[in-house]
A and B are shown apart, each in its own frame.
Chain A
Amino acid sequence: MTAAAAIARARARPARRARTTESLTGWAFVTPATVIIGLFGAAPIVWSLVLSFTNDNGLSSTSAFIGVRNYKTLIHDPVVSQAIEHTIVYTALFVPGTMLVGLFLAVAMNRKIRFIWFYRTAAYATMAISTISEALVFIWLFDPSFGIVNYVFSLLHLPQQQFLNSPNEALYVIVTMTIWGWSGFAVVIYLAALQGVPQDLVEAAAIDGAGRWATFRRVTLPLLSPASLFLAVWLTINALQLFDEVYLSTQGGPLGATTVLVYYLYQQAFTTNFDFGYASAIAYLLFIVILAVTAIQFRVGRRFTFYRS
């Protein structure tokens, strides 16, 4: 029996019974996903909240409820404030950086030129490449002695840099690395949005005497604003959770210069203190920060976002 026939039959039956069956089917469809999300998403969220009020060390089976002590420690922990600072600097550079690079590439590729499929694939390839290969390549590119970047600097008679060996530069190398990695994602989003910009509006602007820049600034850019808001929110959430690149390239160093919040909580839970309670408290701090930042972004963003109806 085809699905359509089944539906037709189901409709033919009294309405109440049909609705019951329908809702049962609905539940049947959503249950697996709900169970999985509940088990692997919601349960750990609740459990880590409980953990954050204990001194659980993940090793011994005994752990005591210690109230808000973890949160008090957190406020006075100098490494936490440093980690927050690094996270903010990183986010402030990474999010606009990725959006600008993505926008530039998307505009450049939003035209009919030869081999455009190749350029578009190449731009997106950065998303497909695994973080570990990306990190390895960047480590060698930015190697102070043997890297290409310093070689190019020497050709341009620029001073040689220490990059990942320098506490003042390492974070910026990671910013560069991740902008490169995420720009492909921004390109795809912006390209899709650019395809949705109606040509008649662009032509109308041209007829009204607007130059190319003015058209872009006054017509195209506002029409891209929903995409921009989405990217800003999405990239910010990702930036605040930065971990992989730090783990793979600097392990939080040199001298803690790239220790961001998630890396610090990882250290607290798994490498130095085995303090699951404290790590959970840091995770909840981050959760609240992400919630607040996202709420602000949506509030402020709505004012600058232009939705065509």
Chain B
Amino acid sequence: MGTYRMKAGLLCALALAAATGLTACGSGNVATGNSKSIQIWEGWTGAEAKAFAHLVSEYEKTHPGVKVSTLFVNNDNTLQKVQTAVVGGNPPDIAYLYGSWAPNVAKISSVVTLTKVVQRPGVNWNDFWVGERDVATVNGRVIGVPALVDNLAVVYNKTLFAKAHLPLPSPNWTWPQFVADAKQLTNVSIKQYGTAYVTPGSEDTVWHWEALLWAAGGTILNPANTKAAFDSPAGLLSLNTLRTMAITQRSMYLDPTDSAYANLFNSGHIGMLVTGPWDLSGFPNVHYGVQIMPSFPGTTGGHQTISGPDNWVIFNNGASRVSTAENFLLWLTAPAQAEYFSLHTGDLPIRASVGNAPSFDASMNQALPDVSTFISNLGNVHQARPQIATYPQISQVLGTMVVSVLLGKAQPAQALAAAAAKVNQILAGSG
């Protein structure tokens, strides 16, 4: 009888343990209870993951008693996971969050304001590129420290240019030249395309177009961010340029998956790509070169490009953990660590002083041919996307607009007008 009772009792205990175990999992955190322990959610992979792990262990070595635990989260999903964690009352101490989310991130009540932190002596806030600082700041409040910076430039296949007897792109080239080159580089019989464009209609579709809009002298919204401003001659010029390649010439490979284009470029099927430095390591099979973005002749935009910086954001888990997190971030983004990270990953330096240091370009190019063009191209970043909470909605409208033109479902003028009307509606609704 005793055994039977014990079995039942044991099962009850097990059930209870399972139940409490679950709640323990819910609130359990590696760092709970120790103010010197912080947790970071990051999405580094490959060389970046290795370099980051090295920096973290170096920090722990030089700062005895501090424990920095890292958790890999796919960057695309970090915000939704953070949202859930915040609701659960257990956010990470630091998270890597896309810059385009910043205005929405700023709404999260446990996000720590860093405005004073980045003004501390030795931080040298203005050493971060202006595009980075813009994206880390929402309505004058600094909510993040720059984690990564990139920009768009043209990566071209030198072999295909030689075969087509075309001169290589020069730093003062124009969009009409780009379009003409794209036509020359297209050969349907061997499935070779002049260029490619990503068409999932997401922000990736949109920011490629935004660079063209700015180069044509246009802006997305009016200065007060209250009305659409892209339904303009500049908007028309930018969309017509894309339309010529996608519809008239058929020299543009349209990629709804946002991933196929890289493999096609690496296998020599695409002549020119507008893309960022993160793709370079994926092109070992082609002899490629990098050139800054073309300009539109007769406009004031010049060779403008767009930058998509991302932020490290701190969440409030108590004053002492916040302070530990702040100190770690300031160390992580200091010049020495920024330089180490760039040299070991090929990522652009997040600080101007690192990028402008003599011989830095040469060391970077050794790891990734021509990546230095992307570094100097940071100087062509003159404006940032609107830092408003409704930007994701606006981006969706713009994505639909660009894709409808590229697929030949709408004429540029009508697409612009329709999108502008919708964007104005969104802006009016948000007040």
Instruction: Give chain A's interface residues, CB within 8 Å of chain B.
Output: 1, 6, 9-10, 13, 21, 24-25, 27-29, 31-32, 35-36, 39, 57-61, 139-140, 143-146, 162, 164-167, 170, 249-256, 267, 269-274
CB-contact partner of A21 in B8, B254, B257, under 8 A: B8
A249: which B residues are within 8 A, CB to CB?
Answer: 256-257
Contact: B202 with A251, CB < 8 Å?
A: yes
In Å, the complex CA distance between A167 and B201 comes to 12
CB-contact partner of A24 in B8, B108, B202, B409, under 8 A: B8
Comparing B9-17, B337-345, B365-373, the segment that makes contact with chain A is B9-17
- Is B71 part of the binding interface, using a Cβ–Cβ cutoff of 8 Å? no
- Is B109 part of the binding interface, using a Cβ–Cβ cutoff of 8 Å? yes
CB-contact partner of A255 in B15, B193, B407, under 8 A: B407
Contact: B15 with A28, CB < 8 Å?
A: yes
Instruction: Give chain B's interface residues, CB within 8 Å of chain A.
Output: 1, 3-5, 7-8, 11-12, 14-16, 18-19, 22, 79-80, 83-84, 86-87, 104-105, 107-109, 191, 193, 199-202, 253-254, 256-258, 260, 264, 269, 392-393, 395-396, 400, 403-404, 407, 409
Contact: A253 with B403, CB < 8 Å?
A: yes
In Å, the complex CA distance between A44 and B407 comes to 41
CB-contact partner of A143 in B14, B260, B396, under 8 A: B260
In Å, the complex CA distance between A21 and B3 comes to 13
CB-contact partner of B107 in A57, A146, A267, under 8 A: A57
Min CB distance A11 to B, Å, is 11
CB-contact partner of B22 in A35, A166, A267, under 8 A: A35
Min CB distance A142 to B, Å, is 10
Min CB distance A206 to B, Å, is 53
Q: A35-B18, A35-B22, A59-B108 are in contact. List 13 more A-B contacts (CB 8 A).
A: A13-B1, A31-B16, A36-B18, A36-B22, A144-B254, A146-B269, A165-B199, A166-B407, A252-B201, A253-B201, A254-B199, A255-B400, A273-B392
Min CB distance B144 to A, Å, is 15
Q: List 11 contacting pairs A-B, 8 Å CB cutoff, sorted by A.
A: A1-B4, A24-B8, A24-B12, A27-B12, A31-B15, A32-B19, A35-B15, A39-B22, A167-B409, A249-B256, A255-B404
Contact: A9 with B19, CB < 8 Å?
A: no
Contact: A60 with B107, CB < 8 Å?
A: yes
B202: which A residues are within 8 A, CB to CB?
Answer: 251
In Å, the complex CA distance between A116 and B254 comes to 43
For the complex of A and B, 10 pairs with smallest distance between CB atoms? A28-B11, A31-B15, A59-B107, A58-B83, A270-B80, A32-B18, A253-B201, A251-B200, A272-B392, A35-B19
Contact: A250 with B200, CB < 8 Å?
A: yes
Chain B residue at minimum C-beta to C-beta distance from A166: B407
Chain A residue at minimum C-beta to C-beta distance from B193: A145
Contact: A32 with B14, CB < 8 Å?
A: yes
In Å, the complex CA distance between A60 and B103 comes to 12
B264: which A residues are within 8 A, CB to CB?
Answer: 146
CB-contact partner of A59 in B14, B104, B257, B260, under 8 A: B104
Chain B residue at minimum C-beta to C-beta distance from A267: B396
Chain B residue at minimum C-beta to C-beta distance from A47: B87
Chain B residue at minimum C-beta to C-beta distance from A35: B19
In Å, the complex CA distance between A253 and B403 comes to 9
A255: which B residues are within 8 A, CB to CB?
Answer: 201, 400, 403-404, 407, 409
B201: which A residues are within 8 A, CB to CB?
Answer: 251-255
Contact: B396 with A272, CB < 8 Å?
A: yes
Contact: B200 with A145, CB < 8 Å?
A: no
CB-contact partner of B4 in A21, A31, A35, under 8 A: A21
Interface centre among B4, B83, B199, B258 (most CB of A within 10 A): B4
Chain B residue at minimum C-beta to C-beta distance from A135: B257
Min CB distance B43 to A, Å, is 16
In Å, the complex CA distance between A29 and B258 comes to 49
Contact: B393 with A145, CB < 8 Å?
A: no
In Å, the complex CA distance between A230 and B79 comes to 39
In Å, the complex CA distance between A36 and B200 comes to 38
B84: which A residues are within 8 A, CB to CB?
Answer: 58
CB-contact partner of A60 in B3, B108, B393, under 8 A: B108
Min CB distance B249 to A, Å, is 15
Chain B residue at minimum C-beta to C-beta distance from A249: B257
Contact: B109 with A6, CB < 8 Å?
A: no
A145: which B residues are within 8 A, CB to CB?
Answer: 191, 193, 253
A6: which B residues are within 8 A, CB to CB?
Answer: 3-4, 7
B395: which A residues are within 8 A, CB to CB?
Answer: 272
Chain B residue at minimum C-beta to C-beta distance from A266: B80
A252: which B residues are within 8 A, CB to CB?
Answer: 201
B15: which A residues are within 8 A, CB to CB?
Answer: 28, 31-32, 35
A27: which B residues are within 8 A, CB to CB?
Answer: 12
Chain B residue at minimum C-beta to C-beta distance from A139: B257
A1: which B residues are within 8 A, CB to CB?
Answer: 3-4
Chain B residue at minimum C-beta to C-beta distance from A61: B109
Contact: B257 with A29, CB < 8 Å?
A: no
CB-contact partner of A253 in B79, B83, B86, B256, under 8 A: B256
B404: which A residues are within 8 A, CB to CB?
Answer: 255
In Å, the complex CA distance between A35 and B202 comes to 40
Chain B residue at minimum C-beta to C-beta distance from A25: B8
In Å, the complex CA distance between A270 and B396 comes to 13
In Å, the complex CA distance between A164 and B407 comes to 11
Contact: A59 with B83, CB < 8 Å?
A: yes
Chain A residue at minimum C-beta to C-beta distance from B20: A35
In Å, the complex CA distance between A157 and B44 comes to 47
Min CB distance A27 to B, Å, is 8
In Å, the complex CA distance between A144 and B15 comes to 55
Min CB distance B325 to A, Å, is 20
In Å, the complex CA distance between A289 and B11 comes to 40
In Å, the complex CA distance between A144 and B258 comes to 14
Min CB distance B395 to A, Å, is 8
Contact: B407 with A165, CB < 8 Å?
A: yes
Min CB distance A22 to B, Å, is 9
Min CB distance A48 to B, Å, is 12
Contact: A31 with B19, CB < 8 Å?
A: yes
B199: which A residues are within 8 A, CB to CB?
Answer: 165, 253-254
Contact: A165 with B254, CB < 8 Å?
A: yes
